[in-house]
Each structure stands twice: as C-alpha cells, then as structure tokens.
Amino acid sequence: MSINACRAALMGASMLTLTACVSVTVTRGTETVPVAVQAATVSVTPARESTAFTLGTDQPRTPEQLAMVFDKADLSIRVMPETKTIDAVAVLDFTATAPLTAVVVELDTLLTVSSVQVDGREIPAGEGGWHNPEGRMTIPLAAPLAAGGSVSVRIAYAGAPRVAPRAPWDGGFVWATTVDGSPWIATAVQPEGCDIFWPCIDHPLAEPKRVDMHITVPSNLAAPSNGRFMGTVDHGDGWTTWNWSAANPNTYAIALNIGPYDEVRSDYRSRFGNVIPMSYWHLRSDDPAKVAALFAQFAPMMDFYEATVGPYPFGDEKMGVVETPHLGMEHQTINAYGNAYRLDGKGYDWLLHHELAHEWFGNQMTNRNADDMWLHEGLGSYMQPLYLRWLHGERYMQAELQEQRRDLINRFPVVTGTDRAEDDVYKSEVGPGLDLYNKGSLVAHSLRMLIGDEAFFRSITRLIYGMADPRPGSFSPRYGTTDEFLALASEESGQDLTWFFRGYLYQAALPDLRQTREEGQLSLEWVTGDGAAFPMPVEVEIDGRRQTVAMGGGRGGIAVPAGAHVLIDPDNKVLRRDIFIEEWKAAGGR
C-alpha cells in the first residue's frame, strides 16, 4: 500500500483537480508539502458506484474458491481513452484440489459481461447459468470436477470501470492528460482489489501462478506493466498491443499504465551474481536532468536492500518503475511513482524507496491476513531510517526515527490476533492507520536494539524468503504472519519474545516506564496496556557512566548517588511512552 503509495500515510490528502504547471499539496503523515504536478488535467469525476462487496477486499473465500488453485490468468484489455472504457477478455485456468461443481471469481458489476465459456462451452446467464449479483460471479460446471482436474474459464466483458475518487487511497482508474494533452492513465486498486477491472479471486492467498497481459492502446502511447516484456504488436490501424508476463503476482499489484512514455534502462549487477534489468518509464515532457537523477538512485537502493534483506525477488523479470498521475503504489515489478522528483533534503526519494521496499515486504512475502499488514508497512518503513544511516550516518537515522515517533497515534493496537479486512487496519477511525507504518517501524527498531543485528536481520531474511541463505532462483513468493515472525525472532535470539510482541503490537498504549528516586535508589517499573510483565532491560546513564538495568518481571532498580544526573535510555533504543510528546500534541502540536 502507500507511503504504500503511502496509501494510509497520506490518508489526509484531498481530492485534486489539476491544471497545467500547477503546484498542489499532499499530506505525508501529518506533514503538508508542496508537490509540482506534471498533469494538465486529472479527472476527478465521482466514482460510479460499485457494490459494497466489490469495494472491499480480502473477503472470506467461498468453499469453491478454497477448492481450487489459480494456475494462470490471460488478460487481453483494450483501453479506450476517448470514451474512458475498456473492452476485455480474460481466460482463467484453475486446478481443483477437491471436488468442484462451480468456479467462483469476483468482477465489478459496473462491467458488462457479454460471454462466459467453460472449456469452450458457452454458459448462459441467469437461472441455471452464471450470475454475478454483487460482484461475486458463480459459474456452474457441466459436471463435477474431481480433485486434480483442470478447467478453463473465458469471460468477455466491457464498460466504464470505476473512476478513482482519490487514488491511490480510494482506487480505480485514473484518467488524466499530460501537459500536451496526451492521455495519461493508471490503475490503483489496493483498497478495492483486482476485481475492479479483471476477474480474479480477490484475496491475498489466491495469487495466480502466472498472469499474461495483452494491453492494447493507441499506437502513440506506451503501456508498461508487470513482469517480463514479451514485445509489442502494431496492428496497423492506430492500435498497438503491449505484451507482458508476470509470475506469482499479488492480485492488486496487476496494473495498467498508459501514457506518452520514454524508457530509461540499464542493468544492475547484483551482489548475488545475477544481472537484473532496471527500467523507468517517464513522461516524454519530463526534465531529462531530473529523470537521470532519479534513475541514478535505482542501483544504490537495490544494493541496500540486497545487503540488508536479501536478493531482489524478481530478478528474472525486472526492477521497474513508471511515472503515474497518482502518488504511487507497490505494483510488483512496475512500481507507481508520482512524487514529481521532489527533493526534501534527505538525499534520496522517499517514495521510490518505500515502494521498492514492498518488493520484499508485500510482494515476495505477503501477509496472510490484513491483521498482519504491519509486516508490509512497518518493516518496509523501517528500511527508510536504515537507508538514511546507510547513506549519511547515525544522526540521519535517528532524525527519521524521531519523525516517526512524533506521528504515533496509539489509539488502536497494530495487531489483534483476529482476521481483519484491509479497511479495518488502514482506516485510523477503526484501526491502527498510520501506526502500521510508524509504530511498526519503531517496534522493529526496538527489537533490533534488544536482540542485536545478527539475530534481527536473520529473522527478517527468514521471514521474507522462508530460508536463512536465499540465492536467486532458490525461493518463491510466500506468506507470513506476526506469529511466524515472533517464532523466528525468538529462535534467532535464543529467548522467548512473546512479551515483547504482546506489549508493543497487541496493545494500543505504549509501555510506560515509571520511575521513582529516593534514598539513593532509582526504581523502575514497566506498565503495559494489559498489565502483563514486560521485562525490557533499560540502559541508565549516571553522571556519564552507563549501566544496564535488568527488568525481571518488569521491575528493576539501581543505586544513584545524591545529586547525580540520571538519563534513562540515552540512545533511545526503547519505544516507550513519552509524556512530553503527549503534552505537545494536546497543546496543538501536529
């Protein structure tokens, strides 16, 4: 998502009407910043109403969906800028894992279905045939399919897909134009899911093994997309088809990007020995110097992530970025970038870096349920202060961590231990919202400070790849949970960290370190949201000399001479309640 194109981190951004060469503002966390916008016009037509079911994602799967594996989707989509419509055919291949009497997929009812075929046989609509009342399409089979059997479904559909009211936070299609009036089109559907424009199983555990895309657009436009480029076909009638093939993509990450693009390309020589193509598709009207400066950041960022986490997961396809009329989104191998080359004094493009993080934290390792979304957003966000240290040193890392600390909300726990939908976690009125990013990052930092670099980074690598020593070609995308990360960190550190995860992630309130000082003794006590023991050791500096106080059972103490200066946690290793920040916020601090 997000920061996830900052999907939640920019939750406060307003709907925009953009004109040529304007400057607008967006909100990053709680910071409002100016952004130079390339677009001449961006459509902000209110979204046509999809059903409530379609506008949700991560819905419970039906018994039929649980009884089949999604082998392949072959999508042929003609995008018609003048009418803001699409005309598409999807061929979906499944293998049954249990007896199957129907195929069930999701597709927005705003799109008109003209034909449904099963293994070449036309299926009528209505009673006894296919039906799609709320956007969940049921297609009966002529005869039950035994486990191990395969079936191919062809769906032809067309129409005007949902227009994004506020991409990427409220998603759909973005129909924009560039400064010279050319069409500039993008999709961003993480909050709503893949069914906004193609028939799929709209659930993170139902990724197809492969998606082939054939995107037909006016011949003066380009259509970069996910995966490996398979060439173009110029039909000689003013239309050209761009062909792509992606392995194991996240369903919401399948993206259409159409515009007057030029491509900058080079090869990245990985520290793991493979060579990875890198591509950036930018508007032809962009300042060449800005394009070159952004593209120059690709290789250093790749090297950081490979050194910190492990091999780039999709090296046999590409590391791709495309400029979009919305802020951004982590579309696997074709990340959306709409930060307008803005500099912020930190020496790198934060949006480019954050979306790249999701190739590891989101696309290679996908959370099993939205309740574990902090594994995407929090661990991905922690990569930014780590990258600042990589680039500029400790001071810059600490400054970034302090920005995250000031933005904490602490209204809802980051994790509940129950299945939740995306809206339940991303919307701050009902869930953690920005704390997925900021609190998740700060929890990761405290964990690293507690167990040390070796145990921490080995835990991260094993979470991402399912193995301790990944090499290109030795791993596949996988699913992860908070409980799995807890088990890995406990194993790597040699200590049971249940108290740590429970105290930080499952409580809204931060652990509160209470202290009393009397008669030459400093007494410390941790108080957590649920009152459970929190044996987090605390470093104490007394007149410049440091000692670590063991906090068995959540309590500890140390002798302190009268008049000595005491500093608790001098290196800010431990995330905890800070009353002075609460007072500042209560007084109107941002």
* Phi, psi torsion values for 300, nearest 5 degrees: -60, -40
d(CA 95, CA 31): 48
For 521-553, the pLDDT digits (tens) are: 999 999 999 999 999 999 999 999 999 999 999
User: Residue 363 corresponds to which amino acid?
Assistant: N
pLDDT digits (tens, 9 = 90+) for 558-575: 999 999 999 999 999 999
Of the pLDDT bands very low, low, confident and very high (cuts 50, 70, 90), residue 228 is very high
pLDDT (average), residues 207-219: 98
CA atoms within 13 A on the CB side of 302: 28
30 has a pLDDT exceeding 80: no
CA distance 58 to 43: 28
Which of 396, 375, 374 has its CA nearest to residue 385? 396
The whole-angstrom separation of Cα 381 and Cα 354 is 7
Whether pLDDT at 38 is above 60: no
In this predicted structure, what is the pLDDT of residue 589? 83
**Cβ atoms < 10 Å from Cβ of 514:** 11
Mean pLDDT of 360-386: 98
Looking at the chain, how many residues does it have?
A: 590
Specify whether the CB–CB gap between 212 and 243 falls below 8 A: yes
CA-to-CA separations, 477 to 200, 212, 332, 419, 547, in angstroms, rounded: 19, 18, 11, 21, 44
Percent of the chain at pLDDT exceeding 70:
92
The set of residues, in sequence order, having a beta carbon less than 8 Å from that of 325 and lying 6+ positions away, is 18, 38, 39, 42, 167, 174, 176, 184, 186, 338
Which tokens in the block code for residue 97?
């894992």
Question: What average pLDDT score do residues 162-171 get?
Answer: 96
CA dist., res. 125 & res. 143, Å (int): 18
What residues form DSSP beta bridges with 366?
A: 479
Distance of alpha carbon 458 from alpha carbon 283, whole angstroms: 40
Using DSSP bridges, classify how beta strands 319-323 and 335-337 pair: parallel, antiparallel or unpaired. parallel
| Residue 96 pLDDT exceeds 70 | yes
